[in-house]
Every structure is written in structure tokens, then in C-alpha cells.
Amino acid sequence: MVKPTAKKLGRNAPCHCGSGRKYKDCHLLAEEAARSEQLRLRQAQDTLLPKIIEAAQSVPDQFPPAFDRFWQGKYEYGVEQMEKLSTVEDRGSERFLTWFAFDFRQADGRTLVDQLDDAVEIGGFDVDPFERRLLSQWRRVRLRPYVVAEVRKGKGLSLRDLLGDAMYEVADHGASKRLAPGEVVVGHLISADTAPGAEAPTYYLAGAAAQLTDDTAEKLLEFAELHLADLRRRVPDATWDDVVDQRSEVLNHFVIALPQEQRDPTVMERIIAEGRIGLQLTAESVAALLGRTLPSDDE
Ligand SMILES: [Zn+2]
């Protein structure tokens, strides 16, 4: 946790670093600058995302193929359909637009975020220096699944990457009220500011994320592993980053196949079975591609 040293320390008090000098002659200015930078980056996060989503609206010819991939053909692209999706699928149009901006590759192979970041150089996308810094970092952001590890109600939460165990501290007051430990978030985690004295940046959920009940984590991982195994048939050292870089939309396919009303484990078994058939994989081949041995029958 970060101690708000500067606020409590008087200007003429001895500096907290133990230098023996007064605070105002030692660490005060640097800490004020760090706080102001943190604030500007946090503001940039709020202003940059709407700019990106607005830019997405300027390439509507790319919507139909992207729509088809994200919704797995379940919906056909249309302006009316986009509006309906906000209710039919929880914040569906917003979830689609966020994925479209961060994950979908345009005709030239770059994502929209890549294109916008490159366009800044030639004056094609108007951002301030703080937004610029974030935009460059956001090129690597993809849709990923996270498990809620801890919730600090009204403050934030800790998310664990379901595909790799990294932990992230997320400042999202709304999400901290809606989510409980063990539940799953399928969304875009973006870094923005780093609190003064903190070791890691603060993360935020960009746009809309799908929220799943706590019975889904294991099955979603199993489903995602089919896709990792599938990639490894061609590229033996493929990683989770490759999976989300090449086909993060499959995570949404899992989400939209889930029942909306009540829990149903048979549905998840069916999603996995269908995924295995679609990818022409067997339990044995998945285990082999992931470097695992299957438990033998006589144990
Ligand atoms: Zn000092």
C-alpha cells in the first residue's frame, strides 16, 4: 500500500527519507510532480478510450466481418442489431467495440489501436502527451479472462490472469461492488497511472467486460486450452499471448454460449465438447500438445 506521505508531512518537517533536510527542500517537489503526473495519466485514460471508440465508428466497412467473428455468426451486423445487443447481450455493443478497437486486425494486419498510435506521428490522430503514452502501451492489450482474487468493496479488486497467474490491482469502484471472489471477468485490462511509491501500475477495465459466475473459471480455462493446443499443432511453442493475439474472440464465444438465467454445468461440458470436435482434437491430443499426461484409467 502507498503511504500518502506528502499530505501528512508539514513543509518544514524533516523529510521522511531521513536526509535530515526539511521536507520542502527535499522530496516535496518530486512527490508533487509524481502525483500530478498520476492524475494526468488517470484523466488521459478517461479521455483516450472514447476517442478510440469514436475512431472505430469511422471504419464501418470493417464491422460486418469483425461482428461475425466476435459473435460467432450468432448476430448479423446492422445498426439496429448494435442497439439491440446492449440488452440482448449484457452491454454487447460496447463489448464488441472495445474488442474491435484492441483485438481485431484491420485489412493491413494492424489493430485499430496500432493504426491510431502510428497515425499520431503524422498528425492523423489528435492526442495530448499523456494520452500518447497510454496509447503506445495499449497496443499490447487484448481481451483476456481474469478471476477475481480479492475485492475491496467500493475501492477496487485484485484480478488473477486465468491464462498465466499474473496478478493485477484494479481500480474500479463499480466492479468492486458487482463482483465477488471466484467470479470471472472477460475484458480488457489497461494500465494507466502508477501511484507514487507503488511498485506496479494501477489497472482499469476498459470499456465493457463480461462477468461470469464462479463456476465458470475452470471450464473457461479448459476451453481456452483447446485453442492453445490447436495453435501448438502448427507452432509447438505457442503461448497464451499467441492465443489472445490471434483469436481472443473465442473467449466471447464461450461467454455467449453460457445460460443467462441459471447455472448449468452441462452447457459448459457441451461448449468444450463442441470446441474439441470443431478443432478436431481429442482429450489425448490436447494433453500431449500441452505437455501433460492424462490420468490413467486403472488409478
Ligand atoms: Zn527526502
Structure confidence by residue, pLDDT tens digits, 77-119 = 888 888 899 888 889 999 999 999 999 999 999 999 999 999 9
The answer to whether the CB of 240 falls within 8 A of the CB of 228 is: yes
21 CA distance to ligand 1 middle (Å): 7
197 CA distance to ligand 1 middle (Å): 13
50-72 mean pLDDT: 92
Cell (9 digits) for 107: 485489412
39 CA distance to ligand 1 middle (Å): 22
Report how far apart, in Å, the C-alpha atoms of 55 and of each of 92, 100, 127 are: 18, 11, 12
206-220 mean pLDDT: 94
Confidence of residue 192 (pLDDT cuts 50, 70, 90): confident
Q: What is the mean pLDDT of the chain?
A: 91
153 CA distance to ligand 1 middle (Å): 34
What pLDDT was estimated at residue 3? Answer: 44
15 CA distance to ligand 1 middle (Å): 5
138-147 mean pLDDT: 97
187-209 mean pLDDT: 88
Burial of 104 per CB tally in 10 Å (0-12, 13-18, 19+): buried
pLDDT at 296 over 70: no
Burial of 94 per CB tally in 10 Å (0-12, 13-18, 19+): middle
What pLDDT was estimated at residue 83? Answer: 87
What pLDDT was estimated at residue 5? Answer: 46
Nearest to 89 by CA among 112, 111, 72, 106: 72
